Amino acid sequence: MPVLGATAATFYRSPMIKRPADNIESRADDVREHIMAVAIPIFIAKGLGATSIEGIAAQAQVSKKTIYKHFDGKIDLFRCAVRYRMRRGPMTYTSPDLAPGDPVAAIGDYARWTYDHYQTPDSLGLYRASIEAASLAPDTAAYIRDNFSDSVLWPSHYLSLLVQNRLLDIDDIRAAATDIALIAVNGTAHLMGWPAIPDRFRPTLAAWASTFFLHGYTGPCALPTAREDIPQPFSDLNGLFDPLIETTGRRPLATDRRNRLHRAAMAEFIAHGMNGASIDAISRASGVGKMTIYRHYADKRALFIGVVDQFSRTVYQHLPGDATPPPSHSKLPDALTSIGKAALARFVSDDSINLYRLMIREAPQFPELALTIFRRSNAATVHAIRACPLPQPDARPPSDAVVDYLALQFITLLTNANKFLALPIRPQAAEQERMVARAVKLFLHGHQPAHPASRGHSGSEIRPAD
C-alpha cells in the first residue's frame, strides 16, 4: 500500500525542523526530531540493515552519545522515525464533490492519484525498509502496513455513500477501500523491479482498476481500451527458467560441494543482504575455500546472482499440477479456486517469503533479477489463468495485456503480499481458504450488488479455446 507523506527535503522546509548548525546539540527540544528527520532518508536509501548509527550521527552532525541519549539503539530510532514520518504525512486525496455521481470515474480518479503517489522513491524505499524490518522490528513493520488510514479516507467515505444509496453492496467498507488501493498500485510487482508505467498509459490503467473493482474481470474487458497493448510484468515469459549466469571454472563444482556452497551463501545473503554478506563466512559455513569460490564466480555479485537464480528455480519450477490448464468441464469459480489455492500456498512458504524479502531489499541494485524472481513465482498462476477462456461481455476477445492484467489483479487480491512480507506470520489453513474465496469472488463479480443478472458467469463452464 502506498505510504503518503512529504519527501525528505520537506522536513527541512518545515518550521519544526531547522538545518544542522554548530550548536544543534544545545537545542535539546529540537535534537530528537532533527535526528529522526535526518535518519529517515538514510533508512530509505540504505535499508535498516546497512544503516549505521555512526552514519546517522555524521549526517546529523551530532555525536553517537547524543543519539543514544534519545534512542535505545538503531531499531528504536527506526521505529520512532517511521512513526514521526507517518504522523507528518500531509498528503491525502481530496475530491471536490463527494457525491455518488459516476462511480467508475470517481474511483478511477482516486486510483490514478494513488498510483502516482506510490511511485516515488520515498514511498518505495519506506516499504522496502519496513519489509526488511519484519524480522528485526516487527511492530514497526506492522505499524507501517496498518497506518495508512489517510490514504484510504476518501474511498472509505465514498464507498459508504454508495452503500447508503444502494449502489453497492459491501459488508466491510475498510477492506473494500483497501482493495481499491491494492488494485490501483500492484505494489509488490513494483517493489520487485517492475518499472513505473509511463504516464500516457495511466488513465487507461486507472479505468481498468475502477471497472475491475466494481464489476470484476468483465469490467476491463467491456471497455473500448480492452484491445490495447499496455505493458504488464508477465508480457514475456519465454525462457523464464533458463540459467541467468554461467560459472567461470574449467570444471563444474561437484554436486555436493555446489549444494553446500549455495545453501551457505543463500543463508548469508538472507541474513545480511548482498552488501553485508561475507565471502569468508560463506566459505567457513560451506567448507568450500575462497579460492574455489572465486574460481567459479567472478565476484560476490556474480555469486549472488547465481545462488538466487538456482534457489528460485528450485522453489518455483516444476510445480506439481500447478500450471496444468483446468479441465474443460470445470466451472470457472472451481478452476479459479484451485489456481488460487496453489498460488497462495506457494507464496506463503518459508522459502518464497525469504526470497521475496531478499529481492525487495536488493531490487534497487538488481532490478532485472528481482523482476525475474517475481515472474517465476507467478508464472504458473498466469499460465493457468491464460488457459481459462473467460466468458466475455462481447464477442471480441480482450488483448493479451488485459488478460495478464487480470491475472496480476487476481494475484494481488489473493496474496495481499505486503501484509505477509512485512509481518513474521503465515496464514493458517482456514485463513488461506477465506483469502482464496474472497479473491475468487472479487475477480468474478467485483463489488456490485448481488443482482442475479450480474451473476451469470459463476456457472459458466470453461471450454477449450478455439
- One domain for residues 187 and 283: no
Residue 52 has pLDDT above 70, yes or no: yes
What pLDDT score does 450 carry? 46
Q: What is the DSSP string of 179-209?
A: HHHHHHH-HHHHHTTPPPPPGGGHHHHHHHH
Which cell numbers hold the place of 78? 527506526
250 belongs to a structural domain: no
29-51 confidence digits (pLDDT tens): 689 999 999 998 898 888 777 78
- One domain for residues 62 and 105: no
What pLDDT score does 51 carry? 87
- One domain for residues 357 and 461: yes
* Domain span holding position 374: 96-241+317-466
291-305 confidence digits (pLDDT tens): 999 999 999 999 999
Place of cell 476477445: 397
- One domain for residues 162 and 274: no
149-162 confidence digits (pLDDT tens): 566 788 888 999 89
Residue 126 has pLDDT above 80, yes or no: no
State the average pLDDT over residues 431-457: 76
- One domain for residues 322 and 306: no
- One domain for residues 182 and 329: yes
Average pLDDT, rounded, for the chain: 81
pLDDT tier for residue 423 given thresholds of 50, 70 and 90: low
State the average pLDDT over residues 115-129: 82
If one counts every other C-beta atom within 10 angstroms of the C-beta of residue 93, the result is 17
Of the three residues 87, 111, 138, the one that is the final residue of a domain is 87
For residues 462 and 336, what is the distance between their CA atoms, to the nearest angstrom?
11
What pLDDT score does 21 carry? 47
Q: Shortest CA distance to 181 belongs to which of 117, 126, 123, 114?
A: 114
State the average pLDDT over residues 2-9: 39
Q: Are 191 and 374 in contact (CB under 8 A)?
A: no
- One domain for residues 65 and 126: no
Q: Are 347 and 416 in contact (CB under 8 A)?
A: no
What pLDDT score does 107 carry? 93
Cβ-in-10-Å burial (0-12, 13-18, 19+) of 419 comes to middle
Contacts of residue 378, defined as CB under 8 A and 6 or more positions apart, other chains included, come to: 234, 343, 407, 411
304: domain CATH number? 1.10.10.60
State the average pLDDT over residues 434-459: 71
- One domain for residues 160 and 83: no
What pLDDT score does 303 carry? 96
Place of cell 500516457: 200
Residue 363 has pLDDT above 70, yes or no: yes
Residue 2 has pLDDT above 50, yes or no: no
Name the least confident of 90-94, 113-117, 125-129, 331-335: 90-94
pLDDT tier for residue 402 given thresholds of 50, 70 and 90: very high
Residue 267 has pLDDT above 90, yes or no: yes
- One domain for residues 108 and 58: no
For residues 237 and 379, what is the distance between their CA atoms, to the nearest angstrom?
7
Which stretches within 350-399 are classed as H helix?
Answer: 350-362, 367-386
Cβ-in-10-Å burial (0-12, 13-18, 19+) of 185 comes to buried
Q: Are 398 and 386 in contact (CB under 8 A)?
A: no
Residue 289 has pLDDT above 80, yes or no: yes
Of the two residues 21 and 356, the one the predictor is more confident about is 356
CA dihedral 9, 15, 17, 22 (to 10 degrees): 110
Of the three residues 58, 87, 116, the one that is the final residue of a domain is 87
* pTM for this entry: 0.83
For residues 319 and 316, what is the distance between their CA atoms, to the nearest angstrom?
7
Which cell numbers hold the place of 249? 571454472
What pLDDT score does 28 carry? 62
State the average pLDDT over residues 354-373: 92
pLDDT tier for residue 438 given thresholds of 50, 70 and 90: very high
Question: How many structural domains comprise the chain?
Answer: 3
What pLDDT score does 436 carry? 94
If one counts every other C-beta atom within 10 angstroms of the C-beta of residue 287, the result is 11
Q: Are 177 and 156 in contact (CB under 8 A)?
A: yes
- One domain for residues 330 and 184: yes
Q: What is the DSSP string of 226-268?
A: GG-----TTS--TTTTS-S-----SSPPPHHHHHHHHHHHHHH
Name the least confident of 79-93, 96-110, 192-206, 391-405: 79-93
What pLDDT score does 89 carry? 55
44 belongs to a structural domain: yes
If one counts every other C-beta atom within 10 angstroms of the C-beta of residue 305, the result is 18
For residues 18 and 12, what is the distance between their CA atoms, to the nearest angstrom?
6
Of the three residues 37, 57, 87, the one that is the final residue of a domain is 87
For residues 283 and 292, what is the distance between their CA atoms, to the nearest angstrom?
9
pLDDT tier for residue 238 given thresholds of 50, 70 and 90: confident
Helix (H, G, I), strand (E, B) or coil at 447: coil
204-237 confidence digits (pLDDT tens): 999 999 999 999 999 999 898 888 888 899 988 8
State the average pLDDT over residues 330-359: 90
Residue 15 has pLDDT above 60, yes or no: no
- One domain for residues 233 and 166: yes
321 belongs to a structural domain: yes
325-343 confidence digits (pLDDT tens): 554 546 889 999 999 999 9
If one counts every other C-beta atom within 10 angstroms of the C-beta of residue 370, the result is 24
Residue 459 has pLDDT above 50, yes or no: no
What pLDDT score does 418 carry? 58
Q: Are 111 and 346 in contact (CB under 8 A)?
A: no
159 belongs to a structural domain: yes
Q: Shortest CA distance to 337 belongs to which of 438, 212, 213, 456?
A: 438
- One domain for residues 225 and 82: no
Place of cell 477462456: 389
